[in-house]
Amino acid sequence: MKVSVLALWSAAAALLLVAQAPSAAEASHHGGAGLKLGYYKKTCPGVENVVKYHVAKAIKANRGAGAALVRLIFHDCFVRGCDASVLLDPTPANPETEKTAPINIGLAAFEVIDEIKAALEERCPGTVSCADIVVYAARDASSLLSNGHVHFAAPAGRLDGVVSRAADAQRDLPDSTFTVSELIRNFRRKNFTVEELVILSGAHAVGVGHCSSFRARLSAPPAQIVPAYRNLLSGKCAAAAGGADDPVVANNVRDEDPRAVAAAFPSFLGKLRKARDFLDNSYYHNNLARIVTFNSDWQLLTEKEALGHVKEYAENGTLWDEDFSDALLKLSRLPMPPHSKGEIRKTCRWVNHH
């Protein structure tokens, strides 16, 4: 008995040491079990208010920034866990960080994260990880874009990784050309179910996509995309084919500009919305009506279980709000690979000097 008590004490002491020296810590890798609600209560009181203030400000100026933050948590957490590896800028020593990967096309809102980090460094230097900022910011963005319908308490205590490779992003993130089996396998590798694949895809109710991300849809048959909507997209994408000036369109057809809709898809005019980028279950209605942009969206109708969930969430928006909140929380718990090094970065775009 004595021995085990002793062992318990030394384990506790070791934990304490780790907690006091996070910059030298080995990242926790047991499914986010080390994360805690109110993690910064003592070390950086008010941290969540600071994040929310800056996210609200960014969304007020441009709701698209909110969409970008919702995508950012997915693209961070699916690659090496939630470790802010997606934020690292390329350097001469590491010219191909995750953000340079083709799959990360259009990733944005990095300057919102920078602004939050700068404010927090002033308030409590060296304390709040960029990885936690990404999670808090995505949580607040999804809440603000949904008028509070999407909401969850976000545990924290993540460390920032020091590894970021474009090849990892290419390997781990799903591509818009994937079939439903490829999508299911991709999510399965991260322990996400078919249902969660459908739930999380609902994030495409907001934001934008480049024409290069749905090029093949412009010649897909009517069973896959409504011809009038396809014409609308073709018109928008004719402007410039690929390259740096590749046009973007609204992910949610209800956010399209009225003139383009009047010209190509007049029967849809009545369904346009005044407020852009509202995060709700409209994605599922659009999907069943074959008016979504990405092949990966349409693919969800081609598998029995996935289709059942698409219908379920089209029917019950409240259910989606709740399940999307839970799925984002689960996403936020994806851990770094075992034995990864972690630190609290001084600047979210660069690892610290050692």
Ligand X SMILES: *[C@@H]1O[C@H](CO)[C@@H](O)[C@H](O)[C@H]1NC(C)=O
- Give the annotated binding-site residues: 76, 79, 81, 83, 85, 98, 174, 204, 257, 280
Examine residue 67 and tell whether it contacts ligand HEM (CB under 6 A).
yes
Which residue in the set 62, 74, 114, 190 belongs to the binding site for ligand X (CB under 6 A)?
A: 190
Q: Note whether 227 and 217 are within 8 A (CB).
A: no
- HSE toward the beta carbon, residue 69, CA cutoff 13 A: 34
Q: Which two tokens stand for residue 247?
A: 């046009």
Which residue in the set 164, 213, 287, 325 belongs to the binding site for ligand HEM (CB under 6 A)?
A: 213
- Report DSSP state, residue 310: H
Task: In whole angstroms, give the CA distance from residue 19 to residue 104.
Answer: 33
For residue 42, give the 3-state DSSP assignment.
coil
Which residue in the set 147, 179, 181, 191 belongs to the binding site for ligand X (CB under 6 A)?
A: 191
Examine residue 71 and tell whether it contacts ligand HEM (CB under 6 A).
yes
Torsion region of 339: left, alpha or beta (phi above 0 gives left; psi -120 to 50 gives alpha): left
Output the smallest distance, CB 205 to ligand HEM, in A. Answer: 8
Torsion region of 207: left, alpha or beta (phi above 0 gives left; psi -120 to 50 gives alpha): left
Note if 285 is an active site residue. no
**By CB under 6 A, how many residues form the interface with ligand HEM?**
28
Q: Note whether 89 and 347 are within 8 A (CB).
A: no
Contacts of 230 (CB under 8 A, 6+ apart): 217, 218, 220
Q: 254 φ, ψ to 5°?
A: -70, -10
Q: Note whether 51 and 117 are within 8 A (CB).
A: no
Output the smallest distance, CB 168 to ligand X, in A. Answer: 13
Closest CA to 149 of 283, 280, 251, 37: 280
Examine residue 296 and tell whether it contacts ligand HEM (CB under 6 A).
yes
Output the smallest distance, CB 329 to ligand HEM, in A. Answer: 11
Torsion region of 274: left, alpha or beta (phi above 0 gives left; psi -120 to 50 gives alpha): alpha
- Where is the binding site for Ca(2+), in residues? 76, 79, 81, 83, 85, 98, 257, 280
Closest CA to 103 of 183, 177, 200, 169: 169
Q: Which helix (H) or strand (E) holds 132?
A: helix 130-145
Q: Note whether 71 and 207 are within 8 A (CB).
A: yes
Binding mask 22-61 for ligand HEM (x = CB under 6 A): ----------------------------------------
Output the smallest distance, CB 212 to ligand HEM, in A. Answer: 7
Which residue in the set 59, 113, 135, 200 belongs to the binding site for ligand HEM (CB under 6 A)?
A: 200
Angle between helices 317-331 and 63-77 (to 10 degrees): 50
Which residue in the set 210, 215, 311, 346 belongs to the binding site for ligand HEM (CB under 6 A)?
A: 210
Q: Which of residues 285-344 bind ligand X (CB under 6 A)?
A: 316, 318-319, 322, 334
Q: Which of residues 4-33 bind ligand X (CB under 6 A)?
A: 31
Give whichever of 106 and 317 is closer to ligand HEM, judged by the CB atom.
106
Of the listed pieces 87-95, 103-111, 161-169, 333-341, which binds ligand HEM according to CB under 6 A?
103-111
Give whichever of 50 and 200 is closer to ligand HEM, judged by the CB atom.
200
Q: Catalytic: which of 29, 54, 75, 353?
A: 75
Q: Which stretches of the chain bind ligand HEM, using CB under 6 A?
A: 64, 67-68, 70-71, 74, 105-106, 108, 174-176, 178, 183, 197, 200-201, 203-204, 206-210, 213, 251, 294, 296
Q: Which stretches of the chain bind ligand X, using CB under 6 A?
A: 31, 190-191, 316, 318-319, 322, 334
Catalytic residue numbers, as ranges: 75
